[in-house]
Amino acid sequence: MNEEESEIEDIDQNKLWIRNFSLSILLHLLIVMTFLYLYGLQTNSAKINSIFFTLDTKEYIQDESDIKEKTETGVNNDEQVEQNEQVTENKEELKTISFSDIIADTSNLDQVYSEPTLNVSIKYPKGWTFMDQNKKKKLDGVTFWATDGSYNPPPYIHLEVVDKDMFIENRYAYKIDMEEFQTYYNDPEEIQGYITQIYYLRTEEDEDFRLKLMMKGENEFKLFQPRFWAILKSFNFGSYLF
Protein backbone atom coordinates (compact mmCIF):
# COMPACT_ATOMS: atom_id res chain seq x y z
CA MET A 1 0.00 0.00 0.00
CA ASN A 2 1.42 3.27 -1.03
CA GLU A 3 1.27 6.53 0.85
CA GLU A 4 -1.70 7.91 -1.15
CA GLU A 5 -3.90 4.89 -0.40
CA SER A 6 -3.01 5.13 3.29
CA GLU A 7 -4.21 8.72 3.44
CA ILE A 8 -7.51 7.81 1.76
CA GLU A 9 -8.09 5.01 4.28
CA ASP A 10 -7.42 7.39 7.17
CA ILE A 11 -9.97 9.87 5.79
CA ASP A 12 -12.61 7.14 5.49
CA GLN A 13 -12.03 6.05 9.08
CA ASN A 14 -12.37 9.64 10.30
CA LYS A 15 -15.68 10.03 8.45
CA LEU A 16 -16.92 6.77 9.95
CA TRP A 17 -15.95 7.91 13.47
CA ILE A 18 -17.68 11.25 13.01
CA ARG A 19 -20.83 9.53 11.76
CA ASN A 20 -20.91 7.08 14.66
CA PHE A 21 -20.27 9.90 17.13
CA SER A 22 -23.10 11.97 15.68
CA LEU A 23 -25.51 9.03 15.80
CA SER A 24 -24.56 8.44 19.42
CA ILE A 25 -25.29 12.06 20.32
CA LEU A 26 -28.65 11.98 18.52
CA LEU A 27 -29.58 8.76 20.31
CA HIS A 28 -28.76 10.23 23.70
CA LEU A 29 -30.72 13.38 22.90
CA LEU A 30 -33.71 11.27 21.88
CA ILE A 31 -33.52 9.36 25.16
CA VAL A 32 -33.33 12.59 27.17
CA MET A 33 -36.27 14.15 25.32
CA THR A 34 -38.35 11.01 25.81
CA PHE A 35 -37.58 11.10 29.54
CA LEU A 36 -38.53 14.78 29.80
CA TYR A 37 -41.78 14.16 27.94
CA LEU A 38 -42.77 11.31 30.26
CA TYR A 39 -41.78 13.36 33.31
CA GLY A 40 -43.87 16.24 32.02
CA LEU A 41 -46.93 14.00 31.77
CA GLN A 42 -46.43 12.91 35.34
CA THR A 43 -45.98 16.51 36.48
CA ASN A 44 -49.17 17.58 34.76
CA SER A 45 -51.05 14.81 36.51
CA ALA A 46 -49.78 16.15 39.82
CA LYS A 47 -50.98 19.65 38.90
CA ILE A 48 -54.50 18.37 38.32
CA ASN A 49 -54.60 17.01 41.84
CA SER A 50 -53.11 20.19 43.22
CA ILE A 51 -56.07 22.17 41.88
CA PHE A 52 -58.37 20.38 44.30
CA PHE A 53 -56.05 21.24 47.17
CA THR A 54 -56.05 24.85 46.01
CA LEU A 55 -59.83 24.92 45.94
CA ASP A 56 -60.02 23.48 49.42
CA THR A 57 -57.53 26.04 50.65
CA LYS A 58 -59.50 28.86 49.08
CA GLU A 59 -62.69 27.61 50.67
CA TYR A 60 -61.02 27.53 54.03
CA ILE A 61 -59.61 31.01 53.57
CA GLN A 62 -62.97 32.23 52.36
CA ASP A 63 -64.65 30.86 55.46
CA GLU A 64 -62.26 32.83 57.65
CA SER A 65 -62.78 35.90 55.47
CA ASP A 66 -66.55 35.52 55.78
CA ILE A 67 -66.28 35.39 59.55
CA LYS A 68 -64.07 38.48 59.58
CA GLU A 69 -66.31 40.26 57.11
CA LYS A 70 -69.42 39.45 59.13
CA THR A 71 -67.72 40.75 62.24
CA GLU A 72 -66.65 43.95 60.51
CA THR A 73 -70.08 44.24 58.87
CA GLY A 74 -71.67 44.05 62.27
CA VAL A 75 -69.53 46.97 63.42
CA ASN A 76 -70.22 48.88 60.21
CA ASN A 77 -73.93 48.19 60.57
CA ASP A 78 -73.84 49.68 64.06
CA GLU A 79 -72.11 52.75 62.69
CA GLN A 80 -74.61 52.93 59.83
CA VAL A 81 -77.50 52.74 62.29
CA GLU A 82 -76.00 55.64 64.24
CA GLN A 83 -75.58 57.65 61.03
CA ASN A 84 -79.14 56.86 59.97
CA GLU A 85 -80.38 57.96 63.37
CA GLN A 86 -78.48 61.23 63.00
CA VAL A 87 -79.95 61.74 59.53
CA THR A 88 -83.42 61.01 60.92
CA GLU A 89 -82.84 63.53 63.69
CA ASN A 90 -81.75 66.12 61.12
CA LYS A 91 -84.88 65.45 59.06
CA GLU A 92 -87.01 65.83 62.17
CA GLU A 93 -85.36 69.19 62.82
CA LEU A 94 -86.29 70.42 59.30
CA LYS A 95 -89.10 72.91 59.91
CA THR A 96 -91.80 73.11 57.28
CA ILE A 97 -93.16 76.65 56.95
CA SER A 98 -96.28 77.77 55.15
CA PHE A 99 -96.20 80.88 52.97
CA SER A 100 -99.41 81.94 54.69
CA ASP A 101 -97.27 82.56 57.79
CA ILE A 102 -94.96 84.93 55.89
CA ILE A 103 -95.78 88.56 55.23
CA ALA A 104 -94.86 89.35 51.62
CA ASP A 105 -94.65 92.96 50.46
CA THR A 106 -95.66 93.12 46.79
CA SER A 107 -95.58 96.93 46.55
CA ASN A 108 -93.39 98.40 43.80
CA LEU A 109 -92.83 94.97 42.20
CA ASP A 110 -93.72 96.50 38.87
CA GLN A 111 -90.97 94.99 36.71
CA VAL A 112 -90.88 91.43 35.38
CA TYR A 113 -87.84 89.56 34.14
CA SER A 114 -88.67 86.76 31.69
CA GLU A 115 -86.32 84.41 29.85
CA PRO A 116 -87.35 82.02 27.03
CA THR A 117 -84.76 79.18 27.11
CA LEU A 118 -85.91 77.85 30.51
CA ASN A 119 -89.20 79.79 30.62
CA VAL A 120 -88.12 81.62 33.77
CA SER A 121 -90.12 84.58 35.08
CA ILE A 122 -89.58 86.60 38.27
CA LYS A 123 -90.61 90.06 39.48
CA TYR A 124 -88.13 92.64 40.79
CA PRO A 125 -88.59 96.09 42.39
CA LYS A 126 -89.00 99.35 40.55
CA GLY A 127 -85.72 101.24 40.34
CA TRP A 128 -83.68 98.05 40.02
CA THR A 129 -81.83 96.70 37.00
CA PHE A 130 -80.46 93.30 36.00
CA MET A 131 -77.76 91.51 34.05
CA ASP A 132 -78.20 87.90 32.95
CA GLN A 133 -75.61 85.29 32.00
CA ASN A 134 -76.05 82.52 29.47
CA LYS A 135 -74.19 79.22 29.09
CA LYS A 136 -74.46 77.18 25.89
CA LYS A 137 -77.28 79.45 24.75
CA LYS A 138 -79.28 78.75 27.93
CA LEU A 139 -79.85 80.79 31.05
CA ASP A 140 -77.12 80.25 33.65
CA GLY A 141 -77.99 83.06 36.05
CA VAL A 142 -79.30 86.60 36.43
CA THR A 143 -78.31 89.31 38.93
CA PHE A 144 -80.60 92.15 40.11
CA TRP A 145 -79.44 95.22 42.04
CA ALA A 146 -80.85 98.60 43.12
CA THR A 147 -79.95 101.67 41.07
CA ASP A 148 -82.37 104.26 42.52
CA GLY A 149 -80.01 105.42 45.28
CA SER A 150 -82.26 104.15 48.09
CA TYR A 151 -79.49 101.92 49.44
CA ASN A 152 -75.79 102.48 50.04
CA PRO A 153 -74.27 100.10 49.16
CA PRO A 154 -77.09 98.68 47.01
CA PRO A 155 -78.35 95.16 47.79
CA TYR A 156 -78.35 92.52 45.11
CA ILE A 157 -80.29 89.36 44.33
CA HIS A 158 -78.84 86.53 42.25
CA LEU A 159 -80.88 83.75 40.63
CA GLU A 160 -78.73 80.78 39.59
CA VAL A 161 -79.51 77.63 37.60
CA VAL A 162 -77.99 74.64 39.40
CA ASP A 163 -77.48 70.92 38.79
CA LYS A 164 -80.07 68.81 40.59
CA ASP A 165 -77.33 66.46 41.87
CA MET A 166 -76.04 69.29 44.09
CA PHE A 167 -79.10 69.12 46.33
CA ILE A 168 -78.65 67.65 49.83
CA GLU A 169 -81.75 68.10 51.97
CA ASN A 170 -79.96 67.62 55.30
CA ARG A 171 -78.00 70.83 54.76
CA TYR A 172 -81.11 72.95 55.29
CA ALA A 173 -83.08 73.77 58.41
CA TYR A 174 -86.30 75.10 56.87
CA LYS A 175 -88.62 74.05 54.09
CA ILE A 176 -91.51 75.76 52.32
CA ASP A 177 -93.95 73.79 50.15
CA MET A 178 -94.93 75.83 47.11
CA GLU A 179 -97.42 74.88 44.42
CA GLU A 180 -94.79 74.16 41.76
CA PHE A 181 -91.58 73.72 43.78
CA GLN A 182 -90.16 73.39 47.28
CA THR A 183 -87.89 75.96 48.93
CA TYR A 184 -85.11 74.98 51.34
CA TYR A 185 -83.05 77.49 53.32
CA ASN A 186 -81.12 78.23 56.51
CA ASP A 187 -80.86 81.25 58.79
CA PRO A 188 -79.04 84.25 57.29
CA GLU A 189 -75.28 84.53 57.75
CA GLU A 190 -73.21 87.65 58.42
CA ILE A 191 -69.76 88.19 56.90
CA GLN A 192 -68.03 91.55 57.49
CA GLY A 193 -71.32 93.38 57.95
CA TYR A 194 -73.00 91.81 54.91
CA ILE A 195 -76.04 89.61 55.53
CA THR A 196 -76.50 86.72 53.10
CA GLN A 197 -79.30 84.21 52.77
CA ILE A 198 -79.62 81.51 50.11
CA TYR A 199 -82.81 79.70 49.09
CA TYR A 200 -82.66 76.42 47.17
CA LEU A 201 -85.65 75.94 44.84
CA ARG A 202 -86.27 72.23 44.26
CA THR A 203 -88.33 71.53 41.13
CA GLU A 204 -89.71 68.61 39.15
CA GLU A 205 -88.04 69.90 35.97
CA ASP A 206 -84.54 69.15 34.66
CA GLU A 207 -83.04 72.11 36.55
CA ASP A 208 -83.12 73.43 40.10
CA PHE A 209 -82.51 77.06 41.09
CA ARG A 210 -80.85 79.06 43.87
CA LEU A 211 -81.99 82.53 44.91
CA LYS A 212 -79.49 84.55 46.93
CA LEU A 213 -79.98 87.86 48.77
CA MET A 214 -77.06 89.96 50.04
CA MET A 215 -77.40 93.29 51.87
CA LYS A 216 -75.28 95.54 54.06
CA GLY A 217 -76.57 95.83 57.62
CA GLU A 218 -78.80 93.61 59.71
CA ASN A 219 -81.60 96.16 60.10
CA GLU A 220 -81.71 96.87 56.37
CA PHE A 221 -81.85 93.14 55.71
CA LYS A 222 -84.79 92.64 58.05
CA LEU A 223 -86.68 95.60 56.53
CA PHE A 224 -86.19 94.20 53.03
CA GLN A 225 -87.19 90.65 53.98
CA PRO A 226 -90.95 91.01 53.22
CA ARG A 227 -90.09 92.41 49.77
CA PHE A 228 -87.73 89.51 49.13
CA TRP A 229 -90.46 87.01 50.08
CA ALA A 230 -92.69 88.60 47.45
CA ILE A 231 -89.91 88.30 44.85
CA LEU A 232 -89.43 84.63 45.72
CA LYS A 233 -93.17 84.00 45.58
CA SER A 234 -93.34 85.53 42.07
CA PHE A 235 -90.84 83.04 40.65
CA ASN A 236 -92.15 80.87 37.78
CA PHE A 237 -90.35 78.47 35.46
CA GLY A 238 -90.73 75.75 32.86
CA SER A 239 -94.18 74.49 32.02
CA TYR A 240 -95.59 76.54 34.91
CA LEU A 241 -94.76 79.88 33.28
CA PHE A 242 -97.88 81.93 32.62
pLDDT, residue 55, reads: 37
Every domain of the chain and the residues it spans: 1-93, 99-240
> By C-alpha distance, which of 211, 204, 155 is closest to 184?
211
Confidence of residue 163 (pLDDT cuts 50, 70, 90): very high
Taking CB atoms within 8 Å and a gap of at least 24, the contacts of 185-190 are 188/221, 190/218
Could you please report the per-residue DSSP string of 193-212?
TEEEEEEEEE-SSS-EEEEE
pLDDT, residue 70, reads: 47
Write down the pTM of the prediction: 0.59
Q: Among 2.40.50.140, 1.10.15.40, 3.40.50.11930, 2.60.120.1690, name the CATH number for the domain at 99-240.
A: 2.60.120.1690
- Which carries the bigger pLDDT value, residue 82 or residue 159? 159
Which whole number is the average pLDDT over 63-77?
A: 50
pLDDT, residue 84, reads: 53
Q: Give per-residue pLDDT as tens, 211-225.
A: 999 999 999 999 999
Which whole number is the average pLDDT over 50-76?
A: 44
Residue 236 per-residue DSSP state: B
